Amino acid sequence: MEKCQVCDCKTFTTFNKNEDSVLVECSECGFIWLNPLPEHEDIKKIYNNAYQNASSSYYTKVEKKMNRSKRRSKFLEKYIKKNSNIKFLDIGSNGGFMVEAARLRGHKATGIEIDPYSIKYAREHYAKNTFFEGDLESYYKNNPQKKFDIIYCSEVIEHLIDINSFILLIKKILDTNGIVFLTTPDIKHWRRPKDLKLWDAYCPPDHCLYFDNNSLSRLLLKFNLKIIKRMIAFKPGIKIIAKHI
């Protein structure tokens, strides 16, 4: 990649280097990415491996996951003006827990997920929701006029190759008064292990984009999305709520 995806700056320096991967840091905004970025074909292979492990873990601690999802869903409702007919979307919906929790709170809930095993699990266990198998781009092509009041997107953006087209799509499907909840690892968090190799979120090429508070808010601002709430994170992660300016 020739330039920073966040600020278009063309100068960057090596942030971390090991045998098989190099992370570079933009001199202007501090955004960090794997250089070179993986190809689309490689990404598919990575996902297949990652998800086989994830899917088998869905069968444990379901109650705990569901309770956490319900609490989050209730919390997010405070940031929108509507209190009925709320349209909820989870991008990267995994086993469908968050989608089901939103439905139980009375929302019309949809999940998007690229992993067929997770989609199968979600459809079998939480059949009253809509689950779409594919990425956000293919969902949008199939449902160009759908808008959402709450978009939930947890631990997804660090996996992407093209962050600009993803955020542009979020902006398009986010209702004028809606909110987007985003989480991603924070590479500049004070509690991130100094030795990058000891950090569980450092996993190239699976995670290829590494944000901090500055680069993420700059990225969102470019699309006229403003952060309205930052949750304190004790683990090295960013949790924010953003909406249209």
Regarding 4 and contact with Zn ion (CB under 5 A), the answer is yes
The C-alpha atoms of residue 110 and residue 129 are separated, in whole angstroms, by 6
Helices (H), 181-243: 213-222
The site for Zn ion, by CB under 5 A, has a size of: 8
Stretch that binds Zn ion, among 7-15, 41-49, 87-95, 149-157 (CB under 5 A): 7-15
**182, 153 Cβ separation under 8 angstroms:** yes
Please report which residue ranges of 35-96 form alpha helices under DSSP H: 40-56, 62-77
Choice between 9 and 168, CB closer to Zn ion: 9
Report the residue from 1, 2, 3, 9 that binds Zn ion according to the rule CB under 5 A. 9
Give the separation between CA 64 and CA 200, rounded to whole angstroms. Answer: 22
DSSP 145: T
Closest CA relative to residue 230, chosen from 181, 185, 190: 181
Secondary structure (3-state) at 193: coil
- Closer CB to Zn ion, residue 6 or residue 163? 6
Residue 180 and residue 197 in contact, taking contact as beta carbons nearer than 8 Å: no
Least distance (Å) between residue 27 CB and Zn ion: 8
Contact pattern for Zn ion over residues 18 through 47, marking x by CB under 5 A: --------x-xx-x----------------
Are 6 and 32 in contact by the 8 Å Cβ rule? The answer is no
Binding mask 98-127 for Zn ion (x = CB under 5 A): ------------------------------
Please report, as a single letter, which amino acid is at residue 189: H
Least Å from the CB of residue 89 to Zn ion:
28
Give the interface segment with Zn ion, choosing from 4-12, 14-22, 121-129, 194-202 (CB under 5 A).
4-12
Stretch that binds Zn ion, among 3-11, 14-22, 164-172, 234-242 (CB under 5 A): 3-11
Binding footprint of Zn ion on the chain (CB under 5 A): 4, 6-7, 9, 26, 28-29, 31
